[in-house]
Amino acid sequence: MPKTKKYNMVFSNTIMLASKHSLFRFAAPQECRNSWTAGLSSIRLIDMRASNTEVFVKNRLRMIALSSIFIFIFIFIGVAGISAGPFGLEFGMSEAELEEIAFIDEETESGYLWIIPPKPSEDFTEYYVRISPSIGIFEIQALGKILETSAKGDEIRAEFRKIEKFLIQKYGKPTSTYDSIETDSALSDPEDWMKAIQTGDRYFESYWIAEDGAELPGKMNFILLEIDAMEDDETQAYLVLIYESVDWEEGDADA
């Protein structure tokens, strides 16, 4: 089950994360939401990894099977109230409203709802939201398909560019992009590209941040797209896509 963690970090010319050993680094550094102000920051991490790749893949296959059923329902039966937001969801939506249009599978220990949204994408296999009693949905997360990729990460980088292109068409160019490696890393060789992603030495990310000029609709304030890898096999890679609302701070305090 997932567990939210907090780590302190110092910013230099690149994003220097204190740790990236959890499966997903859900949510961006605090500086991203505050125009990259200097100093220390808390980064919210969430670890939704199963005990190994086999278990993790089985969980994903289960969600894919459930998604197929609900896609049939949404397309052929129809669901009223589907939003034009990410995956048919809307920031501010209450849990009761969510239940009317989506399937809620379970709640994690850290308060994330594992759901099947009304508009699932063929490029993503798992979906999570955070809901505050007073704010409603304030965070939406999606995990991409697990792809077999080379040591240089060619295949997952191509998948990243495909999804990034879609996001650019919808939201404009990213306000920040990073393809960087920690200065003291021993994994700077191109053949170690995926190994560096796995260990947290390398970051391959694009951000859309309203405070930095991104023209995001409605209450949307922040988008992050990044590459990550399975903890026990760096050749198994996937994308993480995160949306946050302008009410994230208040929602996080209230959730």
pTM, rounded to two decimals: 0.72
122-174 pLDDT, tens digit each: 999 999 999 999 999 999 999 999 999 999 999 999 999 999 999 999 999 99
Domain residues for 28?
4-254
pLDDT-based confidence at residue 117 (cuts at 50, 70, 90): very high
Task: Kindly report the three-state secondary structure assignment for every residue of the chain.
Answer: CCCEEEEEEECCCCCCCCCCCCCECCCCCHHHHCCCCCCEEEEEEECCCCCCHHHHHHHHHHHHHHHHHHHHHHHHHCCCCCCCCHHHCCCCCCHHHHHHHCEEEEECCCCEEEEECCCCCCCEEEEEEEEECCCEEEEEEEEECCEECCCCCHHHHHHHHHHHHHHHHHHCCCCEEEEEECCCCCCCCHHHHHHHHHHCCEEEEEEEEHHHCCCCCCCEEEEEEEEEEECCEEEEEEEEEEEEECCHHHHHHHC
Q: Total domain count for the chain?
A: 1
